[in-house]
Structure 1
Amino acid sequence: MVLHPLAPEELARLAAKAGGMEALLSRKSPKYKEYAGRVTAPGDWLALMAEEPRLIRRPILERDTDVLIGFDPDEWQRRLL
């Protein structure tokens, strides 16, 4: 299996399904602290996430019109079963 980084457009599509760019952004990432004071626009964050995947919360599970970001066992159980 070959994995490819997500393009900014794909990240924007996932963010729209998840309720906004904030849902994708990993604030726990050391890279987040590096960029937090310099980035203000959501589009800039999406471009940075495409370049630096460690800024993206994982896992991402997309199913039909739903997307789950980050692992929350209770939320996954509620929405998937």
Structure 2
Amino acid sequence: MELTIFGIKNCDTMKKAMKWLDDNGVAYHFHDYKKEGVPEQRLREWLEALGWETVINKRGTTWRKLDDGIKATMNTEKAVTVALENPSVIKRPLLQNDSFITAGFNADEWQQTLK
């Protein structure tokens, strides 16, 4: 699988991440949740590999708007349902290829991972 960056085009963090990839000559495919939806199988892979606590962005407005009961009882299966219904609750960006999955943008980590 080629390197794919998953997220939302208008997100500032996504813009920084894609600029970093471009500036470092890293080829990638951009998957926009708003236009293409969230691929459920990939979402399940992310949750299995990283845990819902990493994949779900608990600092964003989408998380804060969720019902307190949902937040209090969040688990992997609920994370699938919530993320499919509200893609903006997924931490951005998610970067994936055949050998790794990472959530969030950290230039230093990406430099090490993408060498």
The TM-score range, normalised by the shorter chain, is 0.7 to 0.9
Higher Cα Rg: structure 1 or 2? 2
Give the AA of the match of 1:24. Answer: V
Structure 2: where are the runs of 5+ without partners? 1-30
Q: CA RMSD in A?
A: 2.1
TM-score (norm 1): 0.81
TM-score (norm 2): 0.60
- What is residue 68 of structure 1 aligned with on the other side? 102
- Count matched residues: 80
Q: 1:36, 1:21 → 2: CA distance?
A: 17
Give aligned-pair identity as a percent: 22
Runs of 4 or more above 3 Å deviation: none
Structure 1: where are the runs of 5+ without partners? none
- What is residue 37 of structure 1 aligned with on the other side? 68
- What is residue 22 of structure 1 aligned with on the other side? 53
Between 1 and 2, higher relative CO (CA 8 Å, sep ≥ 6) is seen in 2
Q: 1:34, 1:77 → 2: CA distance?
A: 34
